[in-house]
Structure 1
Amino acid sequence: MGNILSRIIGLLLSGVKSICIHLRSVFSNAWMKDSSPDATSDSDQNANIIPPSESQEAIPHGSSTAESNGPVLEVTTHSPPDLSSAETAPEPLSCDSEAVSIFPEPHAQEDLAFPVVTISACTETGQEESSIKVPFQRSYTGRKPVISSSLADTPCATLGVMGLLDQLNTTLRTSHTLDTPSMSSTLEDCIKNNYDFGTAYGRLRAVWGTKDWNTIQDEIRTREARDQEKRRNALVDNRIVRPELEPRRVWDLYANRVVPWWSSNASLPMIPSTTNVRPVSHAWMDAEDRVPVWTPINGKEWPVPIPKDVSLDRIRIEMLNLGAQYTWLDVLCLRQEGGPSEDLRAEEWKIDVPTIGVVYVKAKVAIYLSGLGRAFTLKEGDLDSDRCWFRRAWTLQEIGRERIIVGDTPDGPLHAKPIDKYGNYDAEILTRFHKQLQSISTVYRPRLSVSVTFEILSEMQSRVSTNPVDKIAGLAFPLITTTIPTYREGESLEDAWTELVNEMSVWNRGELFFWYPEPGDTDTKWRPSWEQVMKAPLPAGPALKRYLCEDWPREVWKGLGDVAS
């Protein structure tokens, strides 16, 4: 024990000088920033919601500050688009022109225009548009190759090879013939596999514009094989060594079908504006308020649990109105309980559940605050409910780089106006809600003087999950672990916590070691147990990484990591 203490003291002494220099630099820069015109110009920003406009949504939000010294709220609402422009301004197929695509776009000419298409909730669901509370869920009109549900549901066998080709050409404005190499065999495979048109369209749209149809089937098989190999190689000794692994599936909104990620044009973002995937975040409602729906959207692979008053078709319309081409929605893209292949769920979840965060971390996230697909309302008790979005464990990693509140209505809580410059509203619940809404923007941008590790753990303390181990699994992406433990539903909490700590960076483990004021209450004494970090008040200690890592010699941190291990 004496040797360990001596090593620790030696490591600390070797960094004292650099700490002082770094602190002096930090406070000097902070003083200069506070006294600069740029820093004070934002001090009167009290708005909780950025007014909905395309130009304002494109403005970077990260550097803005409010009177509370926290970032100005990065949440936007949306208004129905100016649909008149759809009739005069043709749009290219790609939802985001900057999106990285693994396949060529399905058209050769950049100026190829698609006809105006309207998808109405009345036609899709039989519900009168006037009875739908959320305006964005009533209808979609635009120049995208979006197909109706009735067309998507049409079996390829009913269309036949020629009919399938004609429909694909009509939808994508192309002129392929059966003389195109491999065309007949590719379409025949769709019939043999019992695809409906939506499935065939979703799987073929990304490759429809390829220049070499001679090798198209080999290319499709190769991409599938690479995806399978990538998932096998991502798992090593119950650890996911490739946390940035793409999701297994994605919802193709144009085809209204869940398709394999590898067969789509979906791309993970480097920044929110460089992706055509809009992930959805929501808090699950109680079981008695949900209904399992068997739907062709996911090929009826499992029953999709959604709120009783919600339609997947209305959610699709809302996402299309947001400009999304693909979306990731857990109930559709992550295998759920039930279905003919239930035995696959536990195996898929080992990788798919821990890596959910990858689709959210840099995305612009669509958030339903009152349950999936439901209009956002607010009444007494909602913010204290265990089903509140702000209180769910999984939503901590779903905050994203930017976010937009969906399910919005013209008279909803998002449009309430503050009654003073301090952000108070005429109802206490509105004041509390808007403060909570603003606070989520700071989760991944903690103050320089506060430990990132303890900031995130503190945020998780007040959250709940159906399965207690989910709280630990939901920390991997917020804590930016180098690798991720696999997900096992029945694992003990302390074992899961130990595995997560072992995958943390040396900086995060160093924060646990240095700043937690008591020894661990399990066999591991150098860091707190899971029960300690969830039940005891956590320190607001300085962040080791920010203050030390830039100046301390590499061997100092290596030695600290050895001691902490």
Structure 2
Amino acid sequence: MHKPDCAVCTPRRDSYFTFSPHVDLSSTPSNAYIRKDTGAYSITGKTEAFSFAVSDQNTNIIMALKRKIEHVDVESNDLEDHPRRRGYRYEPDEFALSAFTETGRAELSIEVPKQRSYTGRSPVIPRALADTPCATLSIQGILDRLNATLRTSYTLPTAPSSSTSAASAAPSSATSVQDQVSLLSILEGCIQKNYDFGTAYAFLRPVWNTVNPSKIQDELRRRERRDRERRQKALVGNRIVDPYMRPRRDWDLCSNRVVPSWITGTDRVRGYKPTPISHAWVDEKDRVDVQTPINGKEWPVPIPKDVDLNLIRIEMLNLAAEAAEGYGTRYNWVQGPREDLRVEEWRLDVPTIGEVYQHTKVVIYLNGLGRPLRLKDGDLDSDRSWFRRAWTLQEVGLVRIIAGDTPDGPMHAQRVNSRNYETALLTRFHEELNSLEDIGFNFLAMMASMQKRVSTNPVDRVAGLAFPLSSYTIPAYHESETLEDAWTALVNALAPSTRADFLFMYPGVGLGSKKWRPTWDQVMKESLSQSGFSGYAEVEHNDEMDEDSYSGSCIEKGYVRGFDMGSAENHVRSGELVIKAADGIAHTFEIKVTHRLPIPEDTYTLLNSGDEYLTNQWAVGKQLPDQRFEKVSVIDGVYSDMNGDGLAEFTERRYFVLV
């Protein structure tokens, strides 16, 4: 089996990384789930959230921005109305990190300004404190630092347990005896499990002032159980019926540690929606595998040689995020932990990576993870280009923020006239950026864009279309699956309205088992028209019968002429549709097509893409026995006849099985 590239990390309000399916307090984040050819990460901070994913040679950082004004707490939970719940309140500019303290590098030597320092309300701790073993701090030392960072005043029992080091503090009314005993047990556990302070902080911060100390363990178990149960229910056979899954693991920016995502308590269903970060992997010779305490040194993290994860953390915080979710990254991961979990996790996690990018703001590193944005000849044609990676097609989002920005970078170039920049390279770069505006609104444009993209595993190009094409459910991921099988599984899982797009907007005939829609080979090789509106029709799929059906308005018999000859180019062509009324009078309508394929002159059945009202989009084909319909082509407009009569009187509602 081809081994996946390794996992990586990314930030969020309680950040993310993507890893193993079952983790509890006794198992710190380890076992990275890593998508072949994609790294996986997430990050958490306080007021916002980042998600990080790395797709094959493209890595994606998903950044979830989630603001809670003057609050630094987790998502609402079942105990959010508890009388002890108090939101953390911080004064502005109270927490700070700098490139010098985190990496030893002078701030002015850092090319990306947003990577130099962070000052803000997110309760971040410095790298040195995060790396300090809890055993070195002692139980009282752990509590003192938690209290100082999170502005609480919890205390411990006067007489400590015999199994612990001294931790004396007089009881106070603010902490009941039961709470004190519970805190003591929790902090003892941090030492017994060999946590460093960063790991302890990552696990405890989300529930630290939102739940009675005596209930912290129960709350964490509840979150883990709910997450585990949801993942178990999400995959039914070979189909993912709950595609809106959050990452398995997060990189918490506040603690600078990877934790299971259930720790953070975030969930899309409860209002959490990450603003993703996407980036493309650099060439293998320019990457290095780094062992980092961020993930407990459980697996090597592949990053560009000139990049430091601690600087990425600072930039993510400056982009108002505390959490970067790490979904999947696909690197050649040599010797990853828990290899036995990888394939099983991929079945669920790889197809659902794209969810966090949908209908949201996306932060993009165009020059490689964490790198300054530069532009040189050949970049846009390279297989490593962000614009050419298969997985990044689903990461376009609604609004894009370009990361790694520098004052003299290409984002600040000025036009020399209304269309052009100083160089052809700059002009093309901005044209590529602007083209992203249209991709998300036309399914044929999405597939045409995928034709130009590459992936390490060919099946990734199919999987990368699941979210752009609006799947209701998603096929499980199998890296060894044939392209045609993967494509068929995806089409069968699409929303009925999206399947109708193939029937009414794709002008040709499928060359596989289905004539009403194209094969994968056709999708990748044919010129696809990127205009038109498919209407409101639906094509339903019956899994048991493996049948596709249409129910809607149709013209049972119409004579089509004028398109016998094809066209060398896509341009509007005119022809005629002749319909004979019940009284024997022939009505002639002008019809138009925008594709270049021929439609042999003949009598056809025409299906309309409208619902209650007719539209201009029609599928043309032959009616077969047993209510079956064999598609021939499509027409893009039918206009009133010479008497001004419309088509409504010639249509009827019919049901057809599409062949």
Q: Shorter-chain-normalised TM-score: which range?
A: 0.7 to 0.9
**1:229 aligned partner:** 229
Q: CA deviation at 1:329?
A: 3.9
CA distance in structure 1 between the aligned counterparts of 2:272 and 2:320, rounded to whole angstroms: 11
Structure 2 residue matching 1:259: 3-state secondary structure: strand
- 1:418-437 mapped onto 2 (5 Å cutoff): 418-420=415-417, 422-437=418-433
Q: CA deviation at 1:541?
A: 5.4
Q: Is the 8 A contact 2:458 2:483 kept in 1?
A: yes
Alignment partner for residue 350 of structure 2, among 349, 353, 361?
353
Q: CA deviation at 1:318?
A: 0.4
Query: Residue by residue, what CA displacement relative to the aligned partner does 1:328-354 show, whole Å, maximum 9, x if unpaired?
Result: 245789996532312211111111111
Q: CA deviation at 1:202?
A: 1.0
Pair 1:470-2:460 in alignment = yes
Q: CA deviation at 1:386?
A: 1.0
Change over 3 Å in CA distance of 1:501–1:333 after alignment to 2: closer
User: Deviation above 6 Å: which 4+ runs of structure 1?
Assistant: 331-335, 559-562
- 1:124-135 mapped onto 2 (5 Å cutoff): 124-135=102-113
Q: CA deviation at 1:167?
A: 1.2
The number of residues matched between the two structures is 460
Q: Is the 8 A contact 1:335 1:345 kept in 2?
A: no
CA distance in structure 1 between the aligned counterparts of 2:386 and 2:448, rounded to whole angstroms: 17
Q: Is the 8 A contact 2:466 2:474 kept in 1?
A: yes
**1:344 aligned partner:** 341
With normalisation by structure 1, the TM-score equals: 0.75
- 1:57-136 mapped onto 2 (5 Å cutoff): 92-94=70-72, 100-102=75-77, 104=80, 108=86, 111-113=89-91, 116-136=94-114
Q: Is the 8 A contact 2:243 2:473 kept in 1?
A: yes
Alignment partner for residue 456 of structure 1, among 441, 446, 450?
446
Q: Is the 8 A contact 1:510 1:564 kept in 2?
A: no
With normalisation by structure 2, the TM-score equals: 0.65
CA distance in structure 2 between the aligned counterparts of 1:363 and 1:552, rounded to whole angstroms: 32
Change over 3 Å in CA distance of 1:109–1:470 after alignment to 2: closer
- 1:166-565 mapped onto 2 (5 Å cutoff): 166-178=144-156, 179=177, 180-181=179-180, 182-268=182-268, 277-330=274-327, 338-420=335-417, 422-444=418-440, 446=441, 452-540=442-530, 542-546=532-536, 548=609, 550-551=611-612, 563-564=657-658
CA distance in structure 2 between the aligned counterparts of 1:334 and 1:382, rounded to whole angstroms: 20
CA distance in structure 1 between the aligned counterparts of 2:291 and 2:397, rounded to whole angstroms: 30
Q: CA deviation at 1:385?
A: 1.0
Q: Is the 8 A contact 1:156 1:190 kept in 2?
A: yes
Q: Is the 8 A contact 2:505 2:533 kept in 1?
A: no
The structure where strand makes up a greater share of residues is 2
Change over 3 Å in CA distance of 1:560–1:296 after alignment to 2: farther
Q: Is the 8 A contact 1:382 1:388 kept in 2?
A: yes
Q: Is the 8 A contact 1:370 1:377 kept in 2?
A: yes
Q: CA deviation at 1:243?
A: 0.6
Q: CA deviation at 1:111?
A: 4.6
Q: CA deviation at 1:267?
A: 4.7
Q: CA deviation at 1:483?
A: 0.2
Q: Is the 8 A contact 1:250 1:333 kept in 2?
A: no
CA distance in structure 2 between the aligned counterparts of 1:336 and 1:305, rounded to whole angstroms: 9
Q: CA deviation at 1:194?
A: 2.1
CA distance in structure 1 between the aligned counterparts of 2:94 and 2:88, rounded to whole angstroms: 17
CA distance in structure 2 between the aligned counterparts of 1:331 and 1:240, rounded to whole angstroms: 16
Q: CA deviation at 1:232?
A: 0.5
Q: CA RMSD in A?
A: 2.9
Letter in 1 for 2:465: L
Structure 2 residue matching 1:517: 3-state secondary structure: coil
CA distance in structure 1 between the aligned counterparts of 2:217 and 2:332, rounded to whole angstroms: 27
* Greater CA drift, 508-517 or 526-535: 508-517
Q: Is the 8 A contact 1:114 1:173 kept in 2?
A: no
Query: Residue by residue, what CA displacement relative to the aligned partner does 1:496-528 show, whole Å, maximum 9, x if unpaired?
Result: 111101101222222223333333223333321
Q: Is the 8 A contact 1:249 1:259 kept in 2?
A: yes
Q: CA deviation at 1:132?
A: 1.4
Letter in 2 for 1:136: K
Letter in 2 for 1:172: L
Q: Is the 8 A contact 1:247 1:359 kept in 2?
A: no
CA distance in structure 1 between the aligned counterparts of 2:361 and 2:655, rounded to whole angstroms: 35
Q: Is the 8 A contact 1:357 1:397 kept in 2?
A: yes
Q: CA deviation at 1:160?
A: 2.3
Structure 2 residue matching 1:353: 3-state secondary structure: helix
Change over 3 Å in CA distance of 1:196–1:276 after alignment to 2: farther
Change over 3 Å in CA distance of 1:191–1:560 after alignment to 2: farther
Percent identity, please. Answer: 53
Query: Residue by residue, what CA displacement relative to the aligned partner does 1:197-237 show, whole Å, maximum 9, x if unpaired?
Result: 11111111110012433322112111101111110100001
**1:34 aligned partner:** none
Q: CA deviation at 1:476?
A: 0.6
* Greater CA drift, 311-320 or 360-369: 360-369
Q: Is the 8 A contact 1:104 1:206 kept in 2?
A: no
Query: Residue by residue, what CA displacement relative to the aligned partner does 1:272-320 show, whole Å, maximum 9, x if unpaired?
Result: xx75844220011121111111111122232111111111111001001
CA distance in structure 1 between the aligned counterparts of 2:398 and 2:332, rounded to whole angstroms: 26
The gaps in structure 1 that reach 5 residues or longer are: 1-89, 447-451, 554-558
The structure where helix makes up a greater share of residues is 1
CA distance in structure 2 between the aligned counterparts of 1:504 and 1:537, rounded to whole angstroms: 22
Query: Residue by residue, what CA displacement relative to the aligned partner does 1:56-112 show, whole Å, maximum 9, x if unpaired?
Result: xxxxxxxxxxxxxxxxxxxxxxxxxxxxxxxxxx972439xxx95447599726654
Pair 1:139-2:117 in alignment = yes
CA distance in structure 1 between the aligned counterparts of 2:389 and 2:217, rounded to whole angstroms: 44
Letter in 2 for 1:423: R
Change over 3 Å in CA distance of 1:198–1:110 after alignment to 2: closer
Change over 3 Å in CA distance of 1:108–1:192 after alignment to 2: same
CA distance in structure 2 between the aligned counterparts of 1:104 and 1:322, rounded to whole angstroms: 28
Q: Is the 8 A contact 2:447 2:524 kept in 1?
A: yes
* Greater CA drift, 404-413 or 531-540: 531-540
